[in-house]
Structure 1
Amino acid sequence: MTERPLEPGVGVEPRVRVEGAPAVGAARAADLAGPADAADLADIGVAIGIPEPYRTELQDWRERLGDPNVALIIPHVTLLGPTTVSLADLPAIERHLAHTARPNDPFTIRLRGSGTFRPLSPVIFVALVAGEARCATLAAAVRSGPLERPLNFPYHPHVTVAHDIAEDGLDRAYEALADYQAEFDVRGFGLYERGGDLRWRQIRFFPFDQQGDESEPNGDGGRRADIGSRE
């Protein structure tokens, strides 16, 4: 998640405010230039993956627009931006996330139209018009306990479609996605880790409405699966 959606950000345009988080305690904002540089540290993030067919649609848009992050990140709604933690703290973090997910019921996210964080951040996104309050509640719960982090800006859930491209490309993205619409149900969220190749992969999925810790590991011992592989 080297892109801004899964990180602290800055920016405004009408109706847009962005999540921000300075380093604090054991959970601190990750260095966006590269992965954690110590063997006992990990860069993690928490997000809601976008399901098919919308995942591929939005990913195709990023590729057509020349977004340099297209190979590193799958479309998502951020709950916790890139955060550096100790590997020793991961079991406690996973218990915290399972506890956070468990009492929630599924809800619907509806995407409609484009927004931007320019001029302060070169980002074009698809806006949430339903499900925003539930995302905000989840994000606040995730950012508690072992993942407690303050915000410099109010949390603003969104799905990035273009970042770090030329201004004319950002203009095209803003216009092209002005009429974009999608609607899907959210049944849980994922914990992601950034690898040495800078690609983010889901390491565990935390479903809603579970009576025990029934969240599912993904991939190699729960440590390697592509981001967005579960919704």
Structure 2
Amino acid sequence: MTSAGPVDDDGDTGDSGDTGEADDPLVGVIIEIPQPYAIELTAWRAEFGDPLARSVPPHITLLPPTRLARDGFDPLVAHLRTVAAAREPFEVLLRGTATFRPVSPVVFVQLAHGISECEMLQAAVRSGPVSRDLDFPYHPHVTVAHDVAASALDRAETALRDWEGRFTVGGFSLHEHGADGVWRLHERFAFRTG
């Protein structure tokens, strides 16, 4: 992989699910963090010197970067539509910081509410045509500093200790990693309503 994307900046090496060819699409599935929280967390990430601050939008990973066979897009999209149609919107409360150190040089904003919903959702997303193992146990979070100096990680952990954001998750999105190293939105999948 030439650069990290919206789903591999948190200590998951991403390509562990790679069983395809190098020119097969690399995809990931995320819950996008809405505004105004996204712009604020991006600014903080840049403040901590994280080089991915402007190229990786704040998100909660559901499927880390996974190599997909060329003919796998249609089955994956159909699967994700089915997963989304079976879910209802849920609330997420982001509050405070934690770290994966010393295992991985990551500081993140924690989920105080919505953890079990994210766990069930990611398990459903990773089933079917994208079944794969993870490098680490699933832990929903929003990365705010990764692969920066220890002092910057310390600052991130302290600066956002009391940070909080609440929003309703109404769906998730599929992204594809381009040959230019940029992650692009492929499709959004809305949960059922009513």
TM-score, normalised relative to structure 2: 0.91
Is the alpha carbon distance of 1:145 and 1:37 closer, same or farther for their aligned partners in structure 2, counting shifts above 3 Å? same
* SS of the residue 1:127 aligns to: strand
- Distance between the aligned counterparts of 1:124 and 1:99, measured in 2? 33
Gaps of 5+ in 1: 11-18, 31-35, 212-231
What percentage of aligned pairs have identical amino acids? 44
Letter of the aligned partner of 1:207 in structure 2?
A: A
CA contact (8 A) 2:88 2:193 kept: no
- Distance between the aligned counterparts of 1:5 and 1:118, measured in 2? 20
Q: What residue is the counterpart of 1:123 in the other structure?
A: 106
Letter of the aligned partner of 1:128 in structure 2?
A: L
1:106 to partner: Cα distance = 0.4
Q: What residue is the counterpart of 1:136 in the other structure?
A: 119
- Distance between the aligned counterparts of 1:9 and 1:120, measured in 2? 11
Letter of the aligned partner of 2:111 in structure 1?
A: L
Q: What residue is the counterpart of 1:216 in the other structure?
A: none
1:196 to partner: Cα distance = 2.0
Deviation by residue 1:158-209 (Cα, 9 ceiling, x = unmatched): 0000111111111101100100000000000000111122221211000001
* SS of the residue 1:6 aligns to: coil
CA contact (8 A) 1:5 1:159 kept: no
After TM superposition, what 4+ stretches of structure 1 lie above 3 angstroms from structure 2? 1-5, 7-10, 19-23
Is the alpha carbon distance of 1:97 and 1:75 closer, same or farther for their aligned partners in structure 2, counting shifts above 3 Å? same
CA contact (8 A) 1:7 1:82 kept: yes
Out of 77, 83, 93, which is 2:60 matched to?
Answer: 77
Gaps of 5+ in 2: none
Is the alpha carbon distance of 1:8 and 1:60 closer, same or farther for their aligned partners in structure 2, counting shifts above 3 Å? closer
Letter of the aligned partner of 2:85 in structure 1?
A: R
Q: What residue is the counterpart of 2:37 in the other structure?
A: 54
Q: What residue is the counterpart of 1:169 in the other structure?
A: 152
- Distance between the aligned counterparts of 2:115 and 2:193, measured in 1? 23
| 1:157 equivalent in alignment to 2:140 | yes
Alignment of 1:11-50 (within 5 A): 23=16, 28-29=17-18, 37-38=22-23, 41-50=24-33
CA contact (8 A) 1:43 1:84 kept: yes
- Distance between the aligned counterparts of 2:165 and 2:185, measured in 1? 23
- Distance between the aligned counterparts of 1:55 and 1:103, measured in 2? 27
1:78 to partner: Cα distance = 0.2
Is the alpha carbon distance of 1:8 and 1:85 closer, same or farther for their aligned partners in structure 2, counting shifts above 3 Å? farther
Structure 1 window deviating more from structure 2 (123-132 vs 80-89): it is 80-89
- Distance between the aligned counterparts of 1:163 and 1:9, measured in 2? 7
- Distance between the aligned counterparts of 1:157 and 1:104, measured in 2? 17
Is the alpha carbon distance of 1:6 and 1:138 closer, same or farther for their aligned partners in structure 2, counting shifts above 3 Å? same
Is the alpha carbon distance of 1:8 and 1:161 closer, same or farther for their aligned partners in structure 2, counting shifts above 3 Å? closer
| 1:103 equivalent in alignment to 2:86 | yes
Q: What residue is the counterpart of 2:188 in the other structure?
A: 205
TM-score, normalised relative to structure 1: 0.77
* SS of the residue 2:68 aligns to: strand
Q: What residue is the counterpart of 1:6 in the other structure?
A: 7
- Distance between the aligned counterparts of 1:152 and 1:37, measured in 2? 20
RMSD: 2.5
